[in-house]
Structure 1
Amino acid sequence: MKLAISVPVGAWHDFLPWALESLACQKADLRIAFLDASGDPRVKALADQYDDRLAYRRHGPDGGQSDAILEGWANVEGDWLGWLNADDMLMPGALEKVQAHLGANPGLEAVYGHSVILDGDGAMTGYHFNVEPPGERLLQAGIISQPSCFFSRAAYERAGGLNRDLHYVMDWDLWIRMYKSGTRFGFLDDALSMVIWADDTKTASINKRRRFELNAVIAEHAPEAAQKATFRAFMVHAAADKLWPPSLRRALVRRLRRSGPSIFGLRADGAFSPEADLKLAHYGREAKSGLRLSFLRPAPSLKASTVGREVSVSSEGATVELRFDRPLGPAELCDINLRHDAGEAPVFLKAEWL
């Protein structure tokens, strides 16, 4: 598996160093194409630091994100493809897990997994709860998280490639066409990436162009009876992210997701199962001493453990601090197992590094 990853950069992002470091630490046959249209000297200086890891780099104008991604794939070798945005990061060991999954399941032409969701400050707020194994629901919902998806160049070309003219939904459009062209998708039940969802995230946009692109893809691929509901679901999600105040947004999202799925024991509305796992990592220069967990209400009975470290737990109101017996360095996977015996499940809000 020789993997070509395009990294399109339209502007400086504070997590861009994390994105590049998350690629640099992967143990895989990886070619990185770095496409910088920002004009920001900070981006060029950062690329200089990683120059020996970049198979191709360009600084200057392009035709948009899709155009940049295509340029990268055209200029680096790789029989498998993917892309990583400036505010996305791979989890430590993600590509090794993908390779192992392909080795155990020969014949697969695309593999995807879960994503951890981070807020604009880098705190974990949950998982991408729309992600689910491949199937017909892909035609009316974004069930694939783009940074956690990798696919063969042959299957990609058979489906017609990435649509250069799409700016917001090029990933969903590509997955649908690959699915319809017979691509054999595999699902890896593990967290492969971390994704920033903040107020300026493209998926939170409800502008005219995004509405036009969504309508076009939905009209072409979604079942006719589901088209209006599909478009409405995308717009409600975007409006909640973009327009509503945080307190109203959290309350409504919890209500809408009350019957949603549970991933690693964490339900879509934040409710913990009696046992749950938080999977995350960091790529900062300083080691982390632990995590501060925030809940909707007090969680005094919480217990925590992780492989290779002792974890002490202290609670104060709706805040729980987990302290490691030794710090967690950059590019180390942190998989915290949480247990509680409370009658009412604690509702998770976020996890911040200490």
Structure 2
Amino acid sequence: MPQFAFSVPVGSWHPFLAASIASLRSQGPGIAVALLDASGDPRVRALADAHDDWLSYRRHGPDGGQSDAIIEGWKNVPGDWLGWLNADDILMPGALDRVRARLAEAPDLDVIYGHSSIIDETGATTGYHFNVEPPGPRLLQAGIISQPSCFFRRAVCEGVGGVNADLHYTMDWDLWIRMYEAGAKFDFVEAAMSMVLWGEDTKTASLNKRRRSELQDIISRHAPEAAQSGTFRAFLVHAAADRVWPAGLRERVRRRLRRSGPSVFGIRADGLVQPGAQLFLAHYDAEPKTGLVLEFDSDPGGLRVSGDALPDEIARAGKTIEIRLSPALAGGETLSLQLVPEPGSTVRFLSAAWR
């Protein structure tokens, strides 16, 4: 049975941090968690106090940055498999059970990863991380792995030198590449393993000089020469869309760029709902959720919604479908919904928000 060691570096307080810790705690036995708090915020310390009986290691005070904190955490907690969550990352219920099950089938695997749901600042689900794909050479030129949904052997990580403490933005991609080039056995699980915030203040939306430098270095060393300029340009366009462009322009450009993008669980990169579309939703609040509002870019018309918690009431108004859940969804459980569009329809999914 694999034992997991997790680092949770905290540079500043984030409202999702409580859910992040709760999501780790919900994974069951066989997990040791280190909380590395450089925030100086009393709310982080209070949250750590509330989980003090469970945390394996905690440190409050300055550190050398996120990568340094991740390394510190792993050094101070046991576990032959590693992972890390930032303060705004949340594991899906049962994520580590999926890793355990895969290892029971293929015990020689070194890296296991899956999909991520994307959430906004309110906690509403807005889609999936559409760049994630099975392992292969494209890893050398694109971020095809979602870091919070990736878990790997300590021995393999340490064998390639571990996380590079000098990197601030690309330490995950750099680590994946070094393990891949060293011959580590990667595996992809077709499941949503985490919820990841994509917002204007997240690090991946940054256009600053340090991030540009780190990206250029990795791309120039690993990506095929013919693909280097296009790869770097794609990162810049994504960052500009998140931080610079006005909201209206941002959504129009995103939709156009993603029109030919991949689909994850039947939701295309631009939000188009395709036959067989599925949403996997979860929360970690103390109070069960009794309702859900689905929002689309146009009137969903004849779109049918079904799921494992059958709705006992559906109200449709304009571009939304409101669902009342029966039974209510408790924290740490997953709701699976199926969306069945009318043939030929072009309705696009925008968000799913708890009520």
| TM-score, normalised relative to structure 2 | 0.98
Q: Deviations over 1:186-215 (max 9, x none)?
A: 100000000011110000000011001111
Moved more, 152-161 or 191-200: 152-161
Number of the residue aligned with 1:42: 43
Given that residues 309 and 326 in structure 2 are in contact (C-alpha distance below 8 angstroms), is that contact kept between their aligned partners in structure 1? no
Number of the residue aligned with 2:227: 226
**1:54 counterpart SS class:** coil
Number of the residue aligned with 2:99: 98
For 2:250, the aligned partner's letter is R
Number of the residue aligned with 2:189: 188
Corresponding position: 1:327 with 2:319: no
Q: Deviations over 1:249-306 (max 9, x none)?
A: 1111111111111111100010001221011101112211121111111002122222
For 1:162, the aligned partner's letter is V
**2:87 counterpart SS class:** coil
Number of the residue aligned with 2:203: 202
Moved more, 3-12 or 298-307: 298-307
**1:351 counterpart SS class:** strand
RMSD across aligned positions (CA)? 1.0
Distance 2:72 2:104 in 1: 29
Distance 2:20 2:43 in 1: 14
Given that residues 304 and 313 in structure 1 are in contact (C-alpha distance below 8 angstroms), is that contact kept between their aligned partners in structure 2? no
Distance 2:257 2:202 in 1: 21
Structure 1: tracts of 5 or more residues without a match: none
How far residue 345 of structure 1 moved from its aligned partner, in angstroms, is 2.5
Number of the residue aligned with 1:111: 112
Instruction: Give matches, 1:1-354, under 5 Å.
Output: 1-354=2-355
Given that residues 115 and 149 in structure 2 are in contact (C-alpha distance below 8 angstroms), is that contact kept between their aligned partners in structure 1? yes
How far residue 32 of structure 1 moved from its aligned partner, in angstroms, is 0.1
**2:285 counterpart SS class:** coil
Distance 2:117 2:191 in 1: 10
| TM-score, normalised relative to structure 1 | 0.98
For 1:176, the aligned partner's letter is I
Distance 1:312 1:217 in 2: 51
Q: Deviations over 1:65-101 (max 9, x none)?
A: 0000000001111110000000000001111111001
Distance 1:106 1:252 in 2: 44
Distance 1:306 1:167 in 2: 41
Given that residues 22 and 331 in structure 1 are in contact (C-alpha distance below 8 angstroms), is that contact kept between their aligned partners in structure 2? yes
**1:172 counterpart SS class:** helix
For 1:280, the aligned partner's letter is L
Distance 1:313 1:49 in 2: 38
**1:350 counterpart SS class:** strand
Structure 2: tracts of 5 or more residues without a match: none
For 2:41, the aligned partner's letter is D
Distance 2:288 2:252 in 1: 34
Given that residues 303 and 313 in structure 1 are in contact (C-alpha distance below 8 angstroms), is that contact kept between their aligned partners in structure 2? no
